[in-house]
Chains A and B, each alone.
Chain A
Amino acid sequence: MSRIPPGRGVPVRSAFSLTRRSVLAALGVAALGGRAKADDTLPPLSDALTELKPPKEPPAFSFQTAGGEKRTLADYRGEGVVLNIWATWCAPCRMEMPSLNRLSELMKDFTISVLPVSVDAKGLSVVKAYYAAHGIESLPILLDPDGNIGDAFKIDGIPSSFIIDRSGRLVAECLGAAEWDAPGAVALIRRLTSQGMNPHELPITVPIDSRFRLSG
């Protein structure tokens, strides 16, 4: 019964899908109601992201707040910005929203704003319903129902994300979903947005091994 089939003499856990991690993740799904599920399949940010060297000037664009106020990049001068273009009907966008939500929480202390701009044609109502249904509490509701922002950045599709440093330059872009709140991703975003920062505020380069320590 415990005969070893050919070619399986050595442990093959890594080649296997049901690693301890995925089992734990699956259990986590049951326990936490879907929290761990998305993380397990989202690619690490470092893989999904393309750094722009040298950095570029971002195109001119604007979007609206839930209250209808117009916003541009100038409103976030001096801050690092993670701009995410998404829609409620877009399955890969929805996969990374919980991770962006947690990123936003983690970034509060570092003057880095996470700005998800929805290009839903139906605007506020669907985004508001989505936030409520999925417990998105740390992200602002931002809207661009006409999709102008996508045209401005000439994006290939959504989700598309852009990282803008404190001096207002476009330093990285990311096409497709990514795991935004992993320790490595957090460190990467802090490094990318550090340009134009007060030197003594520069992030520590020691790897941060726990997101919980960061938020605490």
Chain B
Amino acid sequence: MAAVALLVILPAPARAAASGWVGNRHAEARLITAERATGSANVIDAGIEIRLAPGWHTYWRDPGAAGLPATIDWRGSRNLAAAQLDWPAPRRFSLDGLETYGYVGRVVLPIAVTLARPGAPLLLHAKVAYTACSNICVPLHAVLDLALPAGIASPGPEAGLIAAAQKAVPGALAGLGLSLRSARVSPDGKGASALSLELAGPRAMPVRPDLFVEGLPDDAPGPPQVVRAGAEGGVHLLLTRIDVPPSRLAGRRLVFTLTDGPDRAATFAAAPALAAPAGLAGTTLIPLAVIAAALLGGLLLNVMPCVLPVLSLKLLYLARLAGAERRAVRFELLATGGGIVAGFMLLAAGLIALKAFGGAIGWGIQFQSPWFLIAMTMVMVLFAADLWGWISIAMPGGNEAAALTHRVGGRHVRAVLVGLFAALLSTSCTAPFIGTAVGFALSRGPLEIVAIFLAMGLGLAAPTLTAAAVPSLVRVVPRPGRWMVWLSRIFGALLLATAVWLLAVLARISSLDAVLAVSGLALTTLGVLALRHYAGGGRGGFRRAMGGLSGALVLAALLVPLAGANAPPPQQAPDASGLWHPFVRTAIAPNVARGRVVLVNVTAAWCLICQVNQVRVLDRDPVAARLAGTDVVAMRADWTRPDASITNYLESFGHYGVPLDVVYGPGAPGGIVLPDLVTAPEVIRALDRAGGEARAAER
């Protein structure tokens, strides 16, 4: 009796819910089901499990540029009405420019098996054809049999594998908290297209997005670029260099699979619209958020080191006025505020003109021009001379210099100029939010550029304008006295230091002769002004002559570029540490394909934030030690001089200025964009993330 009872209970575990493994030493497959018996359900969860040796992979339903997906022939099965095969989210393999999609290690392809007669026994007979590749490819054929008896369904040991695989099948976009805002196709070089997908969502952007596109004729694009890691949530992905003309992609139904790490994935379909030509952009509305970003960015520029020397000049002039009447102070402040806004309008006008003539545009590009650098150098020298009292410090004696200063509006002109030059110099810095605002403006039409630059100008001018509204604030400044003379000397020295810095930048884009000429002219100007001040005494003729001479010297400096200052500078000494390699965009992918991590550092000699990043983080340990490793390639792109390839690279990230630091690696083939001001832990983390996943997968 007991023996009979045992017989009834025991057979269940003995019934396998899996076929044996069939394959070779590279890859094996088996058939599994979630249940041990057919039970009473119409549909039974089953799966094909493929096990791959280390270094081997098999393919997704769309294998990409090469490869074959698994196919299953169910003929010979009994009680099978239908079998629906599903595909877990793939990962990407980049082999020398060939992008393929598939799986490594173990993968279960879940199958929903519909029974012809529920409750009756089931015989699954699957002829599975699939391919596995490493440095060679092997076509595999596995004939797999699995019989499920009739009876009460109870989960088999493989039920968990199938459930996990079903969860790995990409779901709807809403499951990732995202929705599709736009899908656009635009031309990207000769006969090629770029696809842009904007996904909106309340949550933070995907951490490590990858995008797979099905339905492209004959092309498998590389990993996407994350154009904007929107603070407002969502993500903007860009696929470039798709080898299909835009006209063939516009309106074509494409199936996108977005993955974010191994556990999150979604599939959605979209027919991209042909992006409107750039000229029509004038009618678009500017989101309030961008205007706010521009205002806030401008405001933050006030505390950046680039404008501090010039704006502190303002404070000093104000201190001199401390005793003056409220109205005069107010005018002075308004004039400076106006100068700042005018400076930004000047920048906007320059950028619009450049854009209209097809020139490269960007934040701070005026620093790439020797004319600008020389002009600013001379302006700094003149301001310094002014602070030192060599030009026109208000002398109560009523001599000529004082007359000059007090000429109608003379003081206000100076106030305007302070604002103007502060604005022009401010672009060698970038502040938080500036990137967003500038990126938006420069990608649109003239209207947007003017509006956003106006907002930035108002942001930078905000403290000045606030003080103009409440002039009593200025009364806090102590009365003029001996301290002011010292402060004037210090600020004058600071301005001269700025001039020296500008000359150093000039040395990077012009010939040494030009730099020497400008330096000489600047020093002579300073000398002439000093002579005029100290030796001039009351002799009007001598002072006039010296004043004229200094004016001529400034003009002469401005003419230096005509004398061949644009000649290429002497060959830059190679980076002595051997850490940094020149930037070659096409060398990124091959290095990543070989499992290396690539850091691209786009910088410029005139970009103060870039210098801060280099000195504080990139060129010192622990980052430098990490970059020195053989598994890391550090590339430096120098945007000090105009360089179309670097401008294009910046634009591909929606950036119109430096710094830009991007980390690529097997774990982030599309690149991770670092924040403008980097910190060592952030860089290390990005390097780990870019390299880590592949390393983990290989072991």
Instruction: Give the Cβ gap from B482 to chain A, nearest Cβ, in Å.
Output: 40
Q: Is the CB of B137 within 8 A of A26?
A: no
Whether, in the assembled complex, B283 has its beta carbon less than 8 Å from a beta carbon of chain A, the answer is no
Q: Is the CB of A92 within 8 A of B135?
A: yes
Q: Is the CB of A91 within 8 A of B633?
A: no
Within 8 A of B (CB), among A9-42: 11-13, 15-18, 22-23, 25-27, 29-30, 34, 37-38, 40-41
For B595-627 the 0/1 string (1 means CB < 8 A from A) is: 010000000000000000011000111001101
Q: Is the CB of A8 within 8 A of B577?
A: yes
Q: Is the CB of A94 within 8 A of B624?
A: no
Within 8 A of B (CB), among A172-216: 175-177
For B637-666 the 0/1 string (1 means CB < 8 A from A) is: 000000000000000000000000000000
Name the residue of chain A whose CB is nearest to the CB of B139.
A147
For A131-167 the 0/1 string (1 means CB < 8 A from B) is: 0010000000000000100000000111110000000
Q: Is the CB of B594 within 8 A of A1?
A: no
Whether, in the assembled complex, A6 has its beta carbon less than 8 Å from a beta carbon of chain B, the answer is yes
Whether, in the assembled complex, A60 has its beta carbon less than 8 Å from a beta carbon of chain B, the answer is no
Known interface pairs A4-B576, A38-B96, A90-B66; A18-B587 also in contact (CB < 8 Å): yes
- Complex CA gap A3/B26 in Å reads 48
Q: Is the CB of B98 within 8 A of A94?
A: yes
Q: Give the residues in chain A near B619, CB-CB below 8 Å.
A: 1-3
Q: Is the CB of A175 within 8 A of B596?
A: no
Q: Is the CB of A91 within 8 A of B66?
A: yes
Whether, in the assembled complex, A5 has its beta carbon less than 8 Å from a beta carbon of chain B, the answer is yes
Pick the residue among B26, B584, B591, B621 that contacts A5 (CB under 8 A).
B621
Whether, in the assembled complex, B76 has its beta carbon less than 8 Å from a beta carbon of chain A, the answer is no
- Complex CA gap A24/B696 in Å reads 31
Pick the residue among A27, A89, A92, A160 that contacts B95 (CB under 8 A).
A92
- Complex CA gap A94/B65 in Å reads 10
- Complex CA gap A11/B624 in Å reads 15
- Complex CA gap A159/B578 in Å reads 39
Whether, in the assembled complex, A95 has its beta carbon less than 8 Å from a beta carbon of chain B, the answer is yes
Q: Give the residues in chain B near A177, CB-CB below 8 Å.
A: 135
- Complex CA gap A167/B670 in Å reads 53
- Complex CA gap A89/B100 in Å reads 10
- Complex CA gap A160/B138 in Å reads 11
Q: Is the CB of A15 within 8 A of B135?
A: no
Instruction: Give the Cβ gap from A176 to chain B, nearest Cβ, in Å.
Output: 5
Whether, in the assembled complex, A87 has its beta carbon less than 8 Å from a beta carbon of chain B, the answer is yes
Known interface pairs A23-B582, A26-B584, A91-B98; A2-B136 also in contact (CB < 8 Å): no
Q: Is the CB of B624 within 8 A of A23?
A: no
Q: Is the CB of B630 within 8 A of A15?
A: yes
Name the residue of chain B whose CB is nearest to the CB of A159.
B136
Q: Is the CB of A18 within 8 A of B633?
A: yes
Pick the residue among B135, B578, B614, B615 that contacts A176 (CB under 8 A).
B135
Within 8 A of A (CB), among B180-239: 218
Q: Give the residues in chain A near B578, CB-CB below 8 Å.
A: 4, 8, 11-13
Whether, in the assembled complex, B575 has its beta carbon less than 8 Å from a beta carbon of chain A, the answer is yes
Whether, in the assembled complex, A81 has its beta carbon less than 8 Å from a beta carbon of chain B, the answer is no
Q: Give the residues in chain B near A176, CB-CB below 8 Å.
A: 135-136
Q: Is the CB of B620 within 8 A of A3?
A: yes
Instruction: Give the Cβ gap from A159 to chain B, nearest Cβ, in Å.
Output: 7
Pick the residue among A26, A41, A157, A175 that contacts B586 (CB under 8 A).
A26
Q: Give the residues in chain A near B434, CB-CB below 8 Å.
A: none
Known interface pairs A17-B633, A27-B584; A89-B97 also in contact (CB < 8 Å): no
- Complex CA gap A147/B67 in Å reads 16
Whether, in the assembled complex, B337 has its beta carbon less than 8 Å from a beta carbon of chain A, the answer is no
Q: Is the CB of B628 within 8 A of A7?
A: yes
Whether, in the assembled complex, B68 has its beta carbon less than 8 Å from a beta carbon of chain A, the answer is yes
Name the residue of chain B whose CB is nearest to the CB of A19.
B581
Instruction: Give the Cβ gap from B385 to chain A, nearest Cβ, in Å.
Output: 32
Known interface pairs A87-B137, A133-B218; A5-B594 also in contact (CB < 8 Å): no
Q: Is the CB of A91 within 8 A of B133?
A: yes
Specify which of B66, B96, B619 lies most central, judged by the most chain A CB atoms within 10 Å of its CB.
B96
Within 8 A of A (CB), among B531-579: 575-579
Q: Give the residues in chain B near A18, CB-CB below 8 Å.
A: 581, 584, 587, 591, 633, 635
Pick the residue among B96, B577, B581, B625 that contacts A95 (CB under 8 A).
B96
- Complex CA gap A22/B588 in Å reads 11
Question: What are 26 A-B pairs with beta-carbon distances under 8 A?
Answer: A1-B614, A1-B619, A2-B576, A2-B619, A4-B578, A5-B627, A6-B625, A8-B579, A23-B584, A23-B587, A25-B590, A37-B96, A37-B590, A38-B96, A41-B593, A41-B594, A89-B63, A89-B137, A90-B131, A90-B137, A92-B135, A94-B66, A95-B96, A133-B218, A156-B138, A157-B137
Binding site for B on A (CB under 8 A): 1-8, 11-13, 15-18, 22-23, 25-27, 29-30, 34, 37-38, 40-41, 87-95, 119, 133, 147, 156-160, 175-177
A18-B587, A92-B95 given; 9 more Cβ-contact pairs under 8 Å = A8-B579, A23-B584, A23-B587, A91-B67, A94-B66, A156-B136, A158-B136, A159-B136, A176-B136
Query: What 6 pairs across the A-B complex have the smallest Cβ distances?
Result: A157-B136, A2-B576, A26-B587, A91-B66, A90-B137, A157-B138
